[in-house]
Amino acid sequence: MKTMISTAASLSALMLVAACANTPTMAGDPAPAFDTDFPPALVELNFESHGDRLNGHAYLADGPGPHPTVVLLHGFPGNERNLDLAQDLRHDGFNVLFFHYRGAWGSEGTYSFTHVIEDVAAATDYLRANAEALRTNPDKLILVGHSMGGHGALTLHFKYPDTYRSCSAFSPITSPSRVPWGEKAFTAYIGPPSIAWEQYDATELVQNRQTDAHILIDTGKADQFLEPQLKPEIFIEACEMSGQALTYRLHEGYGHDYYFIATFMSDHIAHHAKALKA
């Protein structure tokens, strides 16, 4: 009996080996062809903003460039860093500069609404000063931000329209001087309500500083901050009154998190690619 079982087992094993030997070899996906002299790269970097050292990374696209470069701005306090989105942007031929504002994730200094704006300006100066080393086209800089980062993206775009060719945002704070977050922060860092607040408020800036860019914004209707802090209707009305080109999309069922951004990032990539060709 043992002999019969052993024989059957041996025959089964031989049949399995024969079957495997006759199985056609499946061709795998070809390895991506990178520029051997200028391959995709990740560069750790730091730079100063008003005397404080900020930490960041530059994601460099394949090839010598110079490449259009996205300054990717995270929200408060940087929990959602969206770094896989930086990989997607790089895959599509964009460089990406990602950094932490003062007081966030090991960067020196204190975090605030006003410091975000100053830190983005410092990051832009760093990009321009190191454009050749970072394979960056300084004439094709793009701002993309989420939440507090969206506030930074829009504010800097209106303040320096000749610096940033295109701008988009996810769930941005667009009227900080009219919502609790901004009122508290501005009072603490700027002082009582005054004209100085307007320099850090996209809704105020767009009334007198319209740009040629077409701005794209996406926000989730299930965002817990939609009514108390984001109040998109204020910014939308200001853009309509000033003639600023804007597409503001509100999406059912989406909140304030990374999954919302990841769902619609491809639209933003296409948006910026189109803007650069205009």
Taking the alpha carbons at both ends of the chain, their separation in whole angstroms is 82
Output the CA torsion sign for 54, 55, 61, 62: positive
pLDDT computed for residue 24 by the predictor: 53
Task: Give the separation between CA 249 and CA 172, rounded to whole angstroms.
Answer: 12
Residue at 186: amino acid letter: F
pLDDT computed for residue 77 by the predictor: 66
**Which phi and psi angles does 131 have, rounded to 5°?**
-60, -45
pLDDT computed for residue 231 by the predictor: 95
pLDDT computed for residue 10 by the predictor: 47
| Token output for 57 | 């990374």
Q: How far is CA 16 from CA 6, 20, 23, 36, in A?
A: 15, 6, 11, 43
Task: Give the separation between CA 89 and CA 72, rounded to whole angstroms.
Answer: 10
Task: Give the separation between CA 245 and CA 231, rounded to whole angstroms.
Answer: 19
Catalytic pick among 256, 268, 271, 272:
256
Catalytic pick among 49, 107, 112, 147:
147
Catalytic (active site) residue 151: no
Catalytic pick among 52, 201, 218, 223:
223
Catalytic (active site) residue 212: no
pLDDT computed for residue 76 by the predictor: 78
> Do 107 and 35 form a contact (C-beta atoms < 8 A)?
no
Under CATH, domain 37-277 is a member of which superfamily? Answer: Alpha/Beta hydrolase fold, catalytic domain (3.40.50.1820)
pLDDT computed for residue 181 by the predictor: 87
pLDDT, tens digit only, all 278 positions of the chain = 444 444 444 444 444 444 445 545 555 666 668 889 999 999 999 999 999 999 999 999 999 999 999 999 998 765 556 688 899 999 999 999 999 999 988 899 998 888 999 999 999 999 999 999 999 999 999 999 999 899 999 999 999 999 999 999 999 999 999 999 889 888 988 888 888 899 999 999 999 999 999 999 999 999 999 999 999 999 999 999 999 999 999 999 999 988 899 999 999 999 999 999 97
- Using one digit for the tens of pLDDT, what is the confidence trace for 105-153? 889 999 888 899 999 999 999 999 999 999 999 999 999 999 989 999 9
pLDDT computed for residue 1 by the predictor: 45
Q: How far is CA 218 from CA 111, 119, 123, 257, in A?
A: 25, 24, 24, 12
- Answer whether 0.95 is exceeded by the pTM: no
Which residues, listed in sequence order, are joined to residue 42 by a DSSP beta bridge?
A: 59
| Token output for 231 | 């109040």
Catalytic (active site) residue 175: no
Enumerate the domain spans of the chain: 37-277
Count Cβ atoms within 10 A of the Cβ of residue 243 and give its class: 0-12 exposed, 13-18 middle, 19 or more buried. exposed
Which residues, listed in sequence order, are joined to residue 170 by a DSSP beta bridge?
A: 146, 218
